[in-house]
Amino acid sequence: DQQVKQNSPSLSVQEGRISILNCDYTNSMFDYFLWYKKYPAEGPTFLISISSIKDKNEDGRFTVFLNKSAKHLSLHIVPSQPGDSAVYFCAASGVQGAQKLVFGQGTRLTINP
């Protein structure tokens, strides 16, 4: 049973436009959400996070939105750049110990020039 779902395996966006990556979760006990970015042949790297007590967190070109009633979070990248092409994973923690992260399947983002 997939507790964290990224229903779009891939997304293609033109350079300079907004990229929106979506993530849904099923367990209301999750209280901390994160986005990781992964390039080929490298390990994932932390991008941005949000606590369940907030509905928005912004860091430069990256903004994460959390809608707890819908159990949905999204990552906005504005403006999108070629270096943003990567696989993005959303993750959640809070169940069975905060140190256990549950990851989604990932979305491959391609930024076209």
Partner 1 sequence: DAGITQSPRHKVTETGTPVTLRCHQTENHRYMYWYRQDPGHGLRLIHYSYGVKDTDKGEVSDGYSVSRSKTEDFLLTLESATSSQTSVYFCATGTTNTGELFFGEGSRLTVL
Residues that bind partner 1 (CB under 8 A): 4, 6, 32, 34, 36, 41-46, 49, 89, 91-93, 97-106
Q: Which is nearer to partner 1, 72 or 100 (CB)?
A: 100
85: tokens are: 């092409």
CB of 18 to partner 1, least distance (A): 24
Q: Which is nearer to partner 1, 15 or 46 (CB)?
A: 46
For the chain, the residue count is 113
CB of 63 to partner 1, least distance (A): 18
Alpha-carbon distance of 104 to 109, in angstroms, equals: 15
Q: Which is nearer to partner 1, 42 or 113 (CB)?
A: 42
Alpha-carbon distance of 85 to 88, in angstroms, equals: 9
DSSP of 49-103: EEETT-SEEEETTEEEEEETTTTEEEEEESS--GGG-EEEEEEEE-SSSTT--EE
CB of 2 to partner 1, least distance (A): 9
CB of 75 to partner 1, least distance (A): 15
